[in-house]
Amino acid sequence: MAQIARSLAHSGTPRTQLLSIQYLRGLAALSVLVTHALQWPLADMNMVLLKTGRLGVEVFFVISGFIITTIAGDGRINPKQFLVRRAFRIVPAYWAATFLITILAVVIPTQFRTTIPTIEGLIKSLLFIPSLEPKAPLLLLGWSLNFEVFFYVLFASLFFLRSEARTLVLLGIFTLLVGIGQLVPGLSHVEAVYTSPSLIGFSLGTILAQAYRHGLFTRFCARLRWATIVAPGVLLIAFYAVDWNGAEEIALWKHVLMSSTALSIVLFGLNHEATGEMTHVKALKYIGDISYSVYLFHLFSVGAIWAISKRLFDVHQPLVYLSCATLAILAGLATGLVCYQFIEKPFLAGVPKRSRAVPAT
């Protein structure tokens, strides 16, 4: 992976970061932001938009599996240190967004259709415990953080294993859990969540990380070049062509298709970087840096823009709709930027230093 190291050095990017991963984080956050900005005023669910946003989340899951496996290094890990670092990374911004949505739902309840805050729901939201009654998480996008935290806890519980063994055990556990979710009837809500096919994305990310760690990108990046270009295109066409038949239940094979599409996108980025052809685009890199804050906080500004626009304009007029949607997207980015600077970044500065950096060579 010397080529990756050289490309990072030439780009001025810290060696503990991969430009392709940062770019994909930014694009994934943008896909969710654009989905909500365009969908918000529509009476019916647009399945193309729904798929676009959901694919963005799946890319996040694959990236998470890849990054966590990679930064953990070869040997055993310190579970306390690992979980503390992860907590510093995701908890402060998520808690801030959760408290904000709770306050707004109490102060202006008419602006919220399904968010009815309760003390129990708030506590469960803060502790990443999914619940139907009362509703938790209170933050709409908090469902994905529940999966992230579950992955972190499970990963940390295997601290005594070396990297390859840890990945194999994780794959076995995830396969078992998804199998239970598919075959066992009458599961509770919490059981159904943690036996969901959403675990597949993390699994594929861990496999990709092992390929990266063992130098397969260096050995095969040239041979894989056209395959990594063609595969995302073919899988994206198949992904959007398949009918989901609604948003609630997604068949396992359709979920596998979505996860494979997300994997192919991440693989394309990593392989492109391995060839030394990755260009350092500051704007896209910065969107990647603020992607978590954009993801968590964009709904507040998007909702505000559309609430005001509906009072002032006929948002069903195409030009008005597109203008307001563009404004909502820009507002979502601006909100993410502000929250990154004043909420996320100060806490990131206090993250305990890890003993291992992302191996770039």
**pLDDT tens digit sequence for 152-210:** 999 999 999 999 999 999 999 999 999 999 999 999 999 999 999 999 999 999 999 99
CA 209 to CA 43: how far, in whole Å? Answer: 41
Q: What is the pLDDT of residue 24?
A: 98
CB atoms within 10 A of CB 296: 29
pLDDT score for 115: 84
Res 222: pLDDT: 73
**Res. 276 pLDDT band, cuts 50 70 90:** confident
Q: What is the pLDDT of residue 6?
A: 40
Q: In the predicted model, what is the mean pLDDT of residues 342-355? A: 79
Phi-psi label, residue 286: left if phi above 0, alpha if psi -120 to 50, beta otherwise: alpha
Mean pLDDT of the chain: 90
| Cα–chain center distance at 283 | 20
Do residues 59 and 24 make contact, with C-beta atoms less than 8 angstroms apart? yes
Q: Residue 356: what pLDDT?
A: 43
Inform me whether the pLDDT recorded for 1 exceeds 50: no
What average pLDDT score do residues 257-265 get? 97
pLDDT tens sequence across 51-79: 999 999 999 999 999 999 999 999 899 99
Confidence class for position 42, pLDDT limits 50, 70, 90: very high
| pLDDT exceeds cutoff 90 at 39 | yes
Give the pLDDT confidence score for residue 180 in this predicted structure: 98
Distance CA 88, CA 86 (A): 5
- Given a cut of 80, is residue 353 above it in pLDDT? no
**Is pLDDT at 5 greater than 90 in this prediction?**
no
